[in-house]
Amino acid sequence: MGDIALRGQGRAMYAKGGRTHVTKEGKTARKGLWYNIHQKRKRGEKMKSKGAKGAPSDEAIKRSQMKSGGRTAAWQRKEGKNPKGGLNAKGRASYKAETGGTLKAPSKKVGNPRRKSFCARMTGMRKRQKPSNNTGDDRLSKSLRAWNC
């Protein structure tokens, strides 16, 4: 079997050669779906037909084609969000890496035009919110508190 990933006790285990390999560019990368596909092609084996047992699903292929190896950017996950509202530094950095846009930290200074604009935009969103979502503990309420709106 060689370098095929085996599942055991919730973690990916590798029969031979550890968890990483060296790519054509000389970078060290984790072994995953595409590594297994290329190894199988190298050995001259035919790929399993779509839907067959053991064949990668469409979802697995899409996930492996993502830049971050199947994980969404930090700004979309809990680790990139500030518990008090908005994004933390890691979330802003991942947003910049993914989109190229620059996000600044919230400003509580009353004379700041950024704050004034944000408060005008987001306070209007509160009116559009469902009453069940307007608990004071939702992301919008936290962001408005972080900006001192």
**E runs forming strands in 2-139:** 5-8, 11-14, 20-22, 28-30
Residues 10 and 59 both lie in one domain: yes
**Which alpha helices (H) appear in 49-112, and where do they start and end?**
58-65, 89-99
Contacts of 147 (CB under 8 A, 6+ apart): 85, 86, 106, 107, 108, 115, 118, 119, 122
Answer yes or no: pTM beyond 0.75.
Answer: no
Residues 59 and 92 both lie in one domain: no
Residues 95 and 125 both lie in one domain: no
Residues 29 and 52 both lie in one domain: yes
Residues 56 and 76 both lie in one domain: no
Residues 89 and 59 both lie in one domain: no
Q: Quote the radius of gyration of the chain (alpha carbons, Å).
A: 23
**E runs forming strands in the chain:** 5-8, 11-14, 20-22, 28-30
> How many structural domains are present in the chain?
3
State CA 14 to chain mean position distance. 25
Instruction: Give the range of the structural domain holding residue 53, as residue numbers without chain letter.
Output: 5-65
Give average pLDDT by consecutive 10-residue segment, the chain, 149 residues. 49 63 81 83 86 83 68 84 88 89 88 92 85 82 88
Residues 97 and 126 both lie in one domain: no
Residues 46 and 78 both lie in one domain: no
Residues 57 and 31 both lie in one domain: yes
Residues 93 and 122 both lie in one domain: no
Residues 17 and 53 both lie in one domain: yes
Residues 93 and 125 both lie in one domain: no
pLDDT digits (tens, 9 = 90+) for 55-94: 888 888 777 776 655 677 888 888 888 888 888 999 999 8
